[in-house]
Amino acid sequence: MLTPKYPPTDTAPTPTPTASSAIPATTTPAPVAPVPGSNRPTIQLTPGSTLALVGGGTAVVLIVGTVLVSMLLAVAITGVSVAICAVVLRSLLNDSRKGR
């Protein structure tokens, strides 16, 4: 599953050069034998491991969602408290200017 899949090599026959062609013939390199041990087995997912992956992914999504929502609430609460402080300070300054 995690190993790359390469397409098979081209097996079309190479055209033979004729005497009338102006392009010199090139030789094709010999195919390279695969290195032993390079064929790794793919990962087999059992029902238990699939369930564990789904459960782990769900837990990560819930935790990240909880953290993001709590950060959003912290910003909202801070904004509301700053707005309330601004209104209170404005009313205090207006009252002091009017001499009440």
Instruction: Please indicate, yes or no, if residue 77 is contained in any of the structural domains.
Output: yes
pTM recorded for the entire structure: 0.46
- CB contact at 8 A, 84 and 76: no
Instruction: Please indicate, yes or no, if residue 97 is contained in any of the structural domains.
Output: yes
Instruction: Please indicate, yes or no, if residue 71 is contained in any of the structural domains.
Output: yes
Domain that residue 77 falls in = 67-100
Residues 6+ apart with CB under 8 A from 1: 42, 43
Mean pLDDT of the chain: 82
Spatial separation of the C-alpha atoms in residues 93 and 100, rounded to whole Å: 11
Domain count, the chain: 1
Instruction: Please indicate, yes or no, if residue 100 is contained in any of the structural domains.
Output: yes
- Per residue in 32-63, pLDDT (tens digit) is 766 665 566 777 888 899 999 999 999 999 99
- Per residue in 58-74, pLDDT (tens digit) is 999 999 999 999 999 99
